[in-house]
Amino acid sequence: MTGRATLGHGRRSRVAWPLVAALLLGGSAAAMAADRACVIEGSVAAGGKTVPVKDCMEFTGSIPAGQLKASCDGLAQASAQMGGKAGKVTLVAQCPRPASGACKGLMGQPLDAYYYDLSPEAAKEKRTACETSSAAIKGGTWSSGQ
């Protein structure tokens, strides 16, 4: 993994991890959101086919409401950058369980990513991406998504 964000079923977006981290973790000390997570549903074009995508990002601490919405909307745009259309964002208190798998502490941050309806190959790619560390980004811990 070269430090690029992946959404959906193992396809890399053109959004670099540092940009995703800034979107997810930047923000002001505005009112904290009651919701701490967002489900992103959309599709990506891959190999001439449209592949449905359902992921969920859950902050493990408090987050300002505006920051949560901006972060989730930014991630939803990644589908459009990969030839699909922008994902639909639904704010929720926590990500639905069970999931196909989850990356706890994504990018070494207080953020968990849940992935749904993954093929075995896509789950393996997600796990590798989750656990990979670089000089700038600490890897997360893969879990079963329960």
Q: What pLDDT digit, counting tens, does each position of 29-65 carry?
A: 334 558 999 999 988 777 788 888 899 999 998 889 8
Asked if 89 and 74 count as a contact pair (C-beta separation under 8 A), the reply is no
Residue 8's pLDDT band, with cuts at 50, 70 and 90, is: very low
Q: What pLDDT digit, counting tens, does each position of 55-85 carry?
A: 999 999 888 989 999 999 998 998 778 767 7
Asked if 92 and 45 count as a contact pair (C-beta separation under 8 A), the reply is no
Q: How high is the pLDDT of residue 16?
A: 40
